[in-house]
Amino acid sequence: MLRILEILGQLIMVFMEETGKVILLFGNSLRWGLRRPFYVRLVVRQMLEIGVNSIPVVLITATFTGMVLALQTHTGFQRFNAESLVGTVVALSMTRELGPVLTGLIVAGRAGSAIAAELGTMRVTEQIDALYTLATNPVKYLVVPRLVAGTLMLPVMTVLSDIVGIYGGFFVSVKVLDANRTIYLRRTWDFLQFSDIYSGLVKAAFFGLVISLIGCYKGFHTRGGAEGVGRATTGSVVVSSMMILISDYLLTAILF
């Protein structure tokens, strides 16, 4: 019994310590990020890594999510003759919820892990120390561009996934389920408000920040060679996925 409490206490302490370190890292990034010079080229490079290269996966996922959403809601809604609202449901679900969250999860799996692996390798091969010796702050050089890129790219990708999701649902409804295309589009856009899209984008930006931050943190604090890099990679995916889902609820509840 005592042992269990001890382990529990230890876990809580570790959790608190890690949280504190993540927040410190974020504070450091803010401090360094606001200081000249700005590494625009590095930001662009990370935008390519985090965003552009993930786009095919994100688009395919979003398309099929929109499609299956249309299929499922249609099945449910036709039981009370509300098929015309499928478009509304798909549009609202995609923009408010699934667009940002799915994009976030995919980017966490793809880019977040890559960040952790890259920084982790740099850590174990002393490249991060080398940056210090070259009078370059690794937080500024490595972390800040990734945070900026993640925060900027996620909303962009969410917009893309919103639109392909909506049109994926449209395709299934109109071509497969034989819905009226005009009514479907009307229902899609009539009930959608800009705040729905906007709230999704704010979430996405936050997710982007979280993914990058956790990836960087895990990479930065890697220990123990190749095995450590593996742990950091897995850890970053698990933690950032969980953080996305938890913060998604909190953001939705508090902000929108």
Which residues bind to other proteins, rule: CB under 8 A? 44-45, 47-48, 51-52, 55, 81-82, 84-85, 121-122, 125-127, 129-130, 132-137, 152, 155-157, 159-160, 162-163, 189-194, 196-197, 201
Residue 107 CB coordination number (10 Å)? 30
User: Residue 233 has which token pair?
Assistant: 């990679």
Min dist. Cβ of residue 247 to other proteins (A): 22
- Cα–Cα distance, 87 to 179 (Å, whole number): 10
Min dist. Cβ of residue 198 to other proteins (A): 9
- Cα–Cα distance, 252 to 256 (Å, whole number): 5
- Can you tell me which residue has the tokens 């499609």? 67
- Determine the residue type at 150: G
* DSSP H or E run through 242: helix 225-255
- Determine the residue type at 202: V
36: left (phi over 0), alpha (psi -120 to 50) or beta: beta
Nearer to other proteins, 103 or 241 (CB): 103
Nearer to other proteins, 49 or 248 (CB): 49
Min dist. Cβ of residue 133 to other proteins (A): 4
Nearer to other proteins, 127 or 234 (CB): 127
Min dist. Cβ of residue 1 to other proteins (A): 25
Nearer to other proteins, 87 or 112 (CB): 87
Min dist. Cβ of residue 32 to other proteins (A): 9
Nearer to other proteins, 136 or 246 (CB): 136
Helix-helix angle 225-255:113-124, to 10 degrees: 140
